[in-house]
Structure 1
C-alpha cells in the first residue's frame, strides 16, 4: 500500500488574479499575459493570468486592505491564519506585471506616480505594497474580489506552487501595460478565444481548466457572483502519468487519477493513465491486474482479471479470468509469479468467465463461483468445482484473506470478493466506473440490485477494483 506523503512538499505559496471585464452584452474577456522565456522553466512562454509567489512583506499590508481582514480572508481560504497574504500578493503581482492597481482612493496623478518609480521599486524588492499604500494614503481595494480556485502543481515537478486564484473586475480608467520582465505580451481575450488559440498560446493545464470554467459566464458580474456563492473551493492536485504519447498530466476528474496516486504517490510519472490489454499492473504487493483484449461499448477498455496472493507465498488466486481468449489466458499464467491455485468468478456473463475453462485445464486450479438462475446471456461453459453462496472466507496466506459477498442484481449469481487487509472490493460489474450498470431481466433485477448496493454501504471500504476500468477510491 502507498505510504503517506506530504502533497505540499517543495511547493511555494502563490496567488493569481483573473481580471475580467464585459466586452459586449453576453460576453466577457479576460486579461492574460505571455510569460518570458526562461530555460528549464515549464511555465516558460506560457499564456497565464497575472500572479506570482507570496512575499514576506505582503503581510505588512494587512492593515491597508478594504473588504477583508486576515481572519475573514483565512476562513474563506480554509486556513487558520495568513490567508490575506494571498489576496495581497495577487494584487501586488497584478500591479508589478501588468500595471493594474487596485487602490482606493486613487487619483490619476497617484496612478501615474505609482506606475513610475514605485512599480520599479516594488519589482526590485526595494519597496513593498504596504509602502505604496502609505505613500499614497490609499488602501488595497479587495471589496470586488472573490476566491475562485485552488491548484497545487503535480508531485514530481521541480518547481511546485500552491496557488490560490481570485477573480475581480478590471479597474475603470486604467490600461494594462506589460512590465517586459515577467510579462512580455498582454492580451484581452474571451475564454473561447484563448482556448481556440491553443496552437498559438501555450496553456498550462491549470490555465486551460480555469478558462473552461470561465467560458460559461456571460458577464463579469456573474463571474463574481458565482465565486462568492461557492460554499467550498476544493484543492485541485493533478498527477503526472505515462501515456502512449509520453508524459501526461491527469486531472482529478479523470478515471485514472485515484489509481495513479496510489501507485505513484511521489509523482515520478511512471504510473499509466491508460489501460492496455495484456499489461501487468502491480496494484499492491498482493494484487496484480491484467486486462483482456476485449474493449467495447459494454466492456470499456476491456475486462479486468486480478491476481491476488499473499506476499510471503507463491500461490495465486485469479478473480474473473475473462473471455476465452488464448492469448489472455496465457498472459494470466505468465503474470503469476508462482502457481495459480484457484479461479474465482464474479458472475457468468461472457466477458468475465469463459476463460476459466482453459485456465483451469492449464493450471489444474478449481473454478469457484455461482450458477445463474436464468441461462439467457450466460456463459454456457461455466461449471464450477464449488458453488459459492456468499459468506465464505478464503485464507490465501498469513496476511491475505478474501470474503465472498453475494450481490445479486446485475446478475442473479453476482459475487464480490473483499480483500480484508486492503479494504478492497473486487466488484465485477456490481459497481461500474463511468457508466450505468445494465440490469437485464429476467436474470437482472433492479429491486434486488438496489438492495445489494445498500448492503455495501455498511462495509468499510477504501477501494473498489471493478471489472472494467481503473481502481476507484
Structure 2
C-alpha cells in the first residue's frame, strides 16, 4: 500500500531565508525568429542549479542601492510602483543590469557622448575591456566604480518587467526573483565570465525547451521559455510585456510521485492540495494519484484512493473523525478486495458509520468488513457527532454532500458544489481543491 510518506525519506536541508534576486532576459531577432540568450552555469558542488542553462541574474546586494544615483530614465518611486513594493524597486533593475554585466559581459548603460545609445563596449581598447571584466569578477561593487569613473548611467528604462517567481518552500535556497526583458545591445559581445558561467547560446525558446536539445533547465526557466515561445519577434514580446498591468507572484510547490520529487506549478490540479497538506515543503504532498495511496488531508480527514473505474478515473474513499475514536467512512466503494484491505489498514479508529454521497446500495464486502457499523443513509439536515467534529448532511445537485465545519471541508461525489460555507472540496475523483465561490 502506498502512503503519504516520501519515496526518499531523507529530511530536507534546513531552509534558508528568502533572498531577493533579479534576472535579465536578453533577446534578439534571429534568422528564424525570436532568440534568447542562455548561459550555462559552471558545475559546482552543493549548487542546486549546477550545470543548468539560465538567464543572467543573481541576488540583490547593498551595492545595488548605491547604484540608484547612476540610474537613468527611472527613479526608485517609479520602479517600486511597477514592482508593487513599498520601496527599493530600483534595486532590482540595478541588480539585473549588474548581474548581466558580471555574468555575460553585456552592459545596459549610456554615457553623455552616446546620445542615448548604449555604450559600445566592442569599441573600447581590448586591455581596458579586459580590466573591466576582471574587476566585475572580483566583486559586486565593480559596476559602481565604473559608473563613477566613466560617467555612465544605467539604462534602467530599457528593461521591461515581465515575471515574478518565488522558489518553492522546502528548497535549501529560496529566491524571490523579478524577471526583466531587454533587447541585445548593439556593439557588444557576449562574454561568459568563466567562473559562474562557462558557455553561452542564442536559442529560440521552443528549441531551448526541446528534449532533443537536452539542456538542464530549472522549472522557472522552462516555464518562462514556454511563455517566450508564443512570440515571433522582440518587438512583439516587448509590446506585450509593456502592456501587462498586473504581474502576479508565481510560487510552485514541491511534491512527490512516481518520478520522484518535482515542482508542482500553480495551474496543476494537485497544487491546492499540496499547499494544504505540506505548506512548508517538508514532504508528504503528491502530484499524482495512485491506487492504494493513503493521504492524511488534515487532523480529521484521511483519504484512500481506490482502483480505476470504468472511465479510468481513480475514486476516493474518506474517513472523517478524531484519530483513535469513532469515525465515519464515506464512499467505501468500489468493494474490491484490495480497496477493502487498504481501507481496513488506513482506518484511524473504529468505523461506526458508513455513508455515501451517492444513492448506491451498500456492497456485501463492505458490510462484512465492518459488520457493526451503521449503514443507514442520512437525510439532508442530519448531523453526526464525531466527538470533537461534526459532519453535516447537505442536499447536493446530484446526491448528498457532507460538510465538516471544523475543517471547512465538503465531501461531494460530483464536480459541482452548492455549499458556500466550505473552503475546501473533497471530491469523489481528483485532488482536494479550494472551493471557488461564484
Q: Structure 2 length normalisation: TM-score? A: 0.88
Tell me the distance in 1 between the aligned counterparts of 2:265 and 2:321: 32
Give the C-alpha shift of residue 131 in structure 1.
2.6
- Equivalent of 1:418, from 403, 424, 427? 403
Tell me the distance in 1 between the aligned counterparts of 2:140 and 2:433: 51
Deviates more, 1:328-337 or 1:338-347: 328-337
Does 2:389 align with 1:400?
yes
User: Would the aligned equivalents of 2:123 and 2:187 in 1 still touch at CA under 8 Å?
Assistant: no
Give the C-alpha shift of residue 386 in structure 1.
4.1
Residue 257 of structure 1 is matched in structure 2 by 271
CA deviation map 1:331-365 (0-9, x unaligned) = 222211321111111113xxxx4555432343132
Give the C-alpha shift of residue 191 in structure 1.
0.5
Give the C-alpha shift of residue 41 in structure 1.
0.8
TM-aligned CA distance change 1:197 to 1:245, over 3 Å: closer
Q: How does 1:32-47 map to 2 (within 5 A)?
A: 32-47=38-53
TM-aligned CA distance change 1:332 to 1:75, over 3 Å: same
Residue 373 of structure 2 is matched in structure 1 by 365
User: Would the aligned equivalents of 1:57 and 1:128 in 2 still touch at CA under 8 Å?
Assistant: no
Tell me the distance in 1 between the aligned counterparts of 2:100 and 2:121: 19
Give the C-alpha shift of residue 472 in structure 1.
0.3
DSSP 3-state at the match of 2:185: coil
TM-aligned CA distance change 1:191 to 1:107, over 3 Å: closer
User: Would the aligned equivalents of 2:121 and 2:188 in 1 still touch at CA under 8 Å?
Assistant: no
Does 2:96 align with 1:85?
no
Q: Structure 1 length normalisation: TM-score? A: 0.82
DSSP 3-state at the match of 1:317: strand
TM-aligned CA distance change 1:319 to 1:115, over 3 Å: farther
Question: Where in structure 1 are there 5+ consecutive unaligned residues?
Answer: 1-7, 368-384, 432-452
Q: How does 1:118-129 map to 2 (within 5 A)?
A: 118-125=132-139, 127-129=141-143
TM-aligned CA distance change 1:314 to 1:107, over 3 Å: closer
Question: Where in structure 2 are there 5+ consecutive unaligned residues?
Answer: 1-14, 112-117
Residue 11 of structure 2 is matched in structure 1 by none
Residue 421 of structure 2 is matched in structure 1 by 460
Does 2:228 align with 1:214?
yes
User: Over the residues paired in the alignment, what is the CA RMSD in angstroms?
Assistant: 2.1
DSSP 3-state at the match of 2:124: helix
- Equivalent of 1:151, from 125, 149, 165? 165
DSSP 3-state at the match of 2:261: strand
Does 2:15 align with 1:15?
no
Q: How does 1:131-210 map to 2 (within 5 A)?
A: 131-197=145-211, 200-210=214-224
DSSP 3-state at the match of 1:179: coil
CA deviation map 1:35-79 (0-9, x unaligned) = 011011111111000011112110111122223211121122121
- Equivalent of 2:333, from 322, 333, 347? 322
Residue 429 of structure 1 is matched in structure 2 by 414
